[in-house]
Structure 1
Amino acid sequence: MKSTLKPLLILSTLIFFSSEAAVAASYATYGLGVGNKLAHGAANTITGIAEVPKSMLMETNDKGLGYGLTTGLLTGITYGVGRSLAGVADLGTFFIPAKPLVSPGYAWQDYRTQQTRFQPNWK
C-alpha cells in the first residue's frame, strides 16, 4: 500500500504546484500587481480626503459656486470615504489578484477633468 501511495502523493503535489505557478505568472497581467495594489491601497487610504476639494472644484466649474459649495462638498465627502475604504480593501487583499475598485487610481490623477468612479463589481 505504501508503494502506491507515494506516486499518488507526488502526482497530486505536481498538479497543485503547477496550477499555483500558472496563477502566479498571470498575476502581473491581471489587474494590479502585488506592489501596485499595495501602493494604491496605501495612497487611497491616506488621500481619500482629497476627494472633497476635487469634487467641490469640479461642481463649481460645471454648475456654479453655490452648487459646488453644497453638493460638491457632500459628494466629496462621500467619494472620500469610498476611496479610503477601497484603499483599506486593497491593503487587506493586496496578495489577491483583482481589478482596481476606484478610477482614476489616485485622487490626484485627472484632478480637474475626471470625476471618481467606483467599479460596480469587484472582479
Structure 2
Amino acid sequence: MTGRAEVDAYIAAQSPAFAAALTALRARLRALLPDHVECLSYAMPGFRQPGAKGRMVVGYAAFTHHLGLYPHSGSVIPQIDCAPFKTSKSGVLFSPDTPLPDALLTAILAARAAELVAARARKA
C-alpha cells in the first residue's frame, strides 16, 4: 500500500466527523507542503520532506475525544502560543468543531521547517 493509500485507509476508519476534519486538515497541509510526501509515521498520517532521506515534518492523528497535530519535534510546540488549544510537549489538540486556525498551522510548520534547516546546517 502506498503512503496515500495508507492515509486514505486511516481516515476512512475514523468516525464521520473525525474523518471530515482529518480530510480538511490533510488538504490544508498538502497545500502548505506541496512537494512533500504523504506517509504514515508512528502509526499516524503525515508529511515528510521529499527525497530518500526526507525527515518527517508533521503528523496528525485521531483519538477517542480529540484530534492532534504533531510536528515530530518536542521543541516546536513550546515555542508557539497555541492558546486556546490544549497542548502537550509534542503536539496541539483540537476537535472537529474547532479546527486549527491557518495562522497557527502556518506558525507550527514554519517553526518545524526552521528547525530542519538548522539541523541540516549543523550536519554540513
The structure carrying a bigger strand percent of its residues is 2
Max radius of gyration: which structure? 1
TM-score by length of 1: 0.28
The structure carrying a bigger helix percent of its residues is 1
TM-score by length of 2: 0.28
